[in-house]
Amino acid sequence: MSKITYESALREGCTLLQASSIQDAELDAWYLLEHVTGLRRIDYMIRAKEDMSIEVYERYQQLLKKRALHIPLQYLTGSQEFMGLSFRVNESVLIPRQDTERLVEEVLKVSKDKDVLELCTGSGCIIISLAKLGNIKNAVAVDISSDAIKVAKENAKDNEVLVTYLLSDMFSNVSGTYDVIVSNPPYIESEVIEGLMPEVKDHEPRIALDGDADGLKFYRILAKESGRFLNKNGRLYLEIGCNQAAFIGELLSQNGFAQIKVVKDYAGLDRVVSAVYEG
């Protein structure tokens, strides 16, 4: 094989991903090059016309071909940033989204010295961010997937926080009471999932996406059962789909919650519902 430079390899990567209709093809080609070479942008600018080693080039090509099949970038690099922290991800967990940072930001306003329970923790990005940034008293997180809990435990260790993880179908193995319950549950309508991007519908765990026929299955459970696990005037924080606020607000008001508040994300869409349990 003839020698190939970093510059020509990146150009090849952009061309391949563009031909495969990958959104942000140029950016993803760069991130994969950065991942396999360890080059920062400034390093690349200096060394662009230098030759790559055959081993590094072949590794880059392998990852490009996987990305061309619409395997998410984050599953190929094995990480995603969230709230300024780094989280390991694989196909056992949902990739953390920037929209979910709004949920964490809202909980951080009240989380100091609080006992916090998270349901549907996945990668652990929410509870770990709260434990790292919020000075919470006690952090407990739940997921139905043992593979997800394995990832979450690794992330807690990486970020040097103490979180107790429980393998549990929602509240089934939860005990005690908490000041705050937080959750980003599955909330996409079942029939909508097949119309999502292939990166999502074909690769992210369906169990973390599917909210049943109307997308509200897990909100019904949270509205009905959270009160048993909340201290007096405890707070519930939920990420929601942008068209679900009215339905979820009604569910909460029917189950003893008051002071129901809807918070928009930075795109101006409904993203978070919070409420206080009054019994």
Burial class (CB in 10 A: 0-12, 13-18, 19+), 97: middle
Q: How many H helices and E strands in the chain? A: 12, 9
- Write out the binding residues for S-adenosyl-L-methionine: 143, 184
DSSP letter, residue 48? T
Give, rounded to a whole angstrom, the gap between the first and last alpha carbons of the chain: 71
Binding-site residues: 143, 184-187
Annotated binding site for substrate: 184-187
HSE-CB for 189 with a 13 A CA cutoff? 8
Take residue 118 and report the two structure tokens written for it. Answer: 């998270």
CB-based contacts of 175: which residues, under 8 Å, 6+ apart? none
Give the residue among 124, 131, 39, 52 at the shortest CA–CA distance from 88: 124
Q: How far apart are CA 152 and CA 213, in angstroms?
A: 28
Number of CB atoms found within 10 A of residue 268's CB: 8
